[in-house]
């Protein structure tokens, strides 16, 4: 096995023995490990959290219950649920110094960057900072889940020149979240819808953000680092940023009669239409179906029928031309817009929901850890000769 000498000349070579190795860009077909958290049946378009179908949880459960389920593996007893709700409620506030940091940020900043920074800062103020027991990790995880809505709501209101609204301990996680963002306490209908949205997106297998959390914690780092990595991954338009781009597209279309032409033009120009297709779901995304029902209801109730009409035409064109179904980003965008959530909060809302899955997956990785580092195939020169700067 001889190494080729290149003497600083250009020219690409594979290393001996590596010519034929199989590459796995994106790790698309690679199984990392076992999980007991969620199961996606891509062929049948089904999703389960801890064995419960997403439809049954969306119908019956609350976000707090799902947080418990994802972390502990079973639905909570009345007492367990009471305790969890109590913890989440009492952890909503930010420490004063963290609030000061939040207020010091430039107003034009994107919310997800603020969220990433504040979660990172919260680690420094966590009372269990140096306790790495499983119990402490669960406490830290719940603090993160409890505080994300507060961070989002505060940064939104500061940016919008509105006074911040402190958490209301009488309200549920989702009702308080809505209240801190909008300043209005939601009626039961809005609360239930908002809660359902949080349930629907709280976990989804080894998506890019949860995988980033696993990679980070696989060095035996801490749960804050894991969630910070996940938030960073969520920032990307291929992951958490997609629903923002969906609603911007729908608003750009503006009128139902323009929708078909708009999409055809995009397709002809080989541009990406956001909100369609999924690497895992070969048929339909079950969450998209639930969101479609919610979007239909809320667009009707809030006078956004035109938005719904446009959405449906876009879906028809994509089905006809590309045989693609809408994914979770598509109708979640229409829904979130219809219930009055500011567009710039779409990705942070996703973060608030998914935080439950990040925490559960981080804990699972910690329980059964191997440091995650794949190989890369080197494809370049070797043994180039170092030349002094004046000889280059």
Given a contact cutoff of 8 angstroms between Cβ atoms, the answer to whether 18 and 377 are in contact is yes
CB of 52 or CB of 297, closer to a copy of itself: 52
Q: Which residues, 6+ apart, have CB-to-CB distance to 374 below 8 Å?
A: 24, 27
The answer to whether residues 113 and 235 touch, using CB atoms and an 8 Å cutoff, is yes
**Binder of a copy of itself out of 63, 67, 76, 363 (CB under 8 A):** 76
- Residues 88-107 touching a copy of itself, rule: CB under 8 A, are 97, 100-101, 104-106
Residue 182 CB, shortest distance to a copy of itself, in Å, is 25
* Chain position carrying tokens 């639930």: 290
Active site residue 204: no
Residue of 141, 149, 186, 240 interacting with a copy of itself (CB under 8 A): 240
Distance between CA atoms of residues 215 and 299, nearest Å = 40
For residue 14, give the DSSP letter.
Answer: B
Q: Which of 19, 21, 83, 271 binds a copy of itself (CB under 8 A)?
A: 21
Q: Which of residues 354-373 bind a copy of itself (CB under 8 A)?
A: 368, 370-373
Give the count of residues interacting with a copy of itself (CB under 8 A).
Answer: 116
Q: What CA–CA distance (Å, rounded) separates 242 from 237?
A: 5
Q: Residue holding tokens 């209801």? A: 297
Could you tell me which residues are beta bridge partners of residue 38? Answer: 49
Residue 329 annotated to the active site: yes
To a copy of itself, the closest distance from the beta carbon of 272 in angstroms equals 11
Least Cβ distance, residue 173 to a copy of itself (angstroms): 17
Secondary structure element (H or E) that encloses residue 25, with its range: none
Residues of span 124-183 touching a copy of itself by CB under 8 A: 124-125, 129
Tokens of 25: 């860009």
Which one of 126, 222, 278, 289 is the catalytic residue? 278
Residue 265 beta carbon to a copy of itself: minimum distance, rounded to whole angstroms: 23
**Which position has the token pair 């999924």?**
278
DSSP character for 53? E
Distance CA 286, CA 237 (A): 21
Site membership for a copy of itself, residue 387 (CB under 8 A): yes
Is the dihedral angle over the CA atoms 40, 46, 51, 57 positive or is it negative?
positive
Q: Quick check: 303 binds a copy of itself (CB under 8 A)?
A: no
- Taking the complex as a whole, the smallest distance from the CB of residue 206 to a copy of itself amounts, in Å, to 5
Annotate each residue in 188-207 with x if it binds a copy of itself (CB under 8 A) or - if it does not, as one string: -----------------xxx
| Strand 52-53, strand 38-41: pairing | unpaired
Q: Is 375 in the site for a copy of itself (CB under 8 A)?
A: yes
Report the site for a copy of itself in 209-238 (rule: CB under 8 A).
209, 211-212, 215-222, 224-226, 228-229, 231-238
Catalytic annotation, residues: 278, 329
């Amino acid at each position: 096995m001889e190494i080729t000498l290149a003497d600083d000349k250009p020219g690409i070579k594979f290393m001996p023995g590596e010519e034929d190795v199989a590459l796995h860009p994106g790790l698309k077909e690679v199984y990392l490990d076992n999980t007991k958290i969620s199961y996606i049946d891509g062929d049948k378009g089904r999703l389960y959290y801890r064995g419960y179908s997403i439809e049954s949880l969306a119908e019956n459960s609350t976000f707090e219950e799902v947080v418990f389920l994802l972390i502990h593996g079973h639905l909570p007893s009345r007492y367990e649920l009471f305790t969890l709700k109590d913890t989440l409620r009492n952890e909503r506030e930010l420490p004063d110094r963290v609030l000061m940091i939040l207020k010091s940020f430039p107003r034009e900043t994107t919310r997800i960057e603020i969220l990433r920074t504040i979660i990172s800062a919260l680690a420094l103020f966590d009372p269990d900072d140096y306790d790495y027991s499983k119990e402490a990790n669960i406490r830290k995880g719940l603090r993160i889940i409890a505080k994300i809505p507060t961070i989002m709501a505060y940064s939104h209101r500061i940016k919008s020149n509105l006074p911040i609204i402190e958490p209301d301990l009488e309200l549920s996680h989702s009702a308080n979240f809505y209240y801190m963002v909008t300043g209005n306490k939601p009626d039961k209908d809005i609360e239930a819808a908002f809660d359902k949205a949080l349930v629907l997106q709280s976990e989804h297998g080894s998506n890019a953000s949860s995988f980033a959390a696993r990679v980070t914690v696989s060095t035996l780092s801490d749960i804050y680092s894991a969630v910070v990595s996940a938030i960073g991954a969520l920032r990307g338009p291929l992951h958490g940023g997609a629903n923002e781009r969906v609603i911007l597209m729908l608003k750009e279309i503006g009128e139902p009669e323009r929708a078909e032409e708009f999409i055809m033009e995009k397709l002809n120009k080989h541009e990406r239409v956001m909100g369609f297709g999924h690497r895992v779901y070969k048929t339909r995304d079950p969450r998209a179906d639930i969101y479609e029902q919610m979007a239909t209801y809320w667009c009707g109730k809030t006078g956004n029928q035109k938005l719904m009409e446009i959405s449906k035409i876009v879906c028809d064109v994509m089905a006809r031309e590309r045989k693609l179904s809408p994914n979770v980003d598509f109708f979640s965008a229409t829904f979130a817009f219809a219930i009055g959530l500011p567009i710039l909060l779409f990705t942070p809302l996703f973060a608030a929901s998914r935080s439950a899955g990040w925490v559960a997956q981080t804990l699972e990785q910690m329980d059964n850890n191997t440091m995650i580092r794949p190989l890369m195939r080197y494809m370049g020169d070797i043994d180039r000769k170092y030349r002094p700067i004046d000889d280059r």
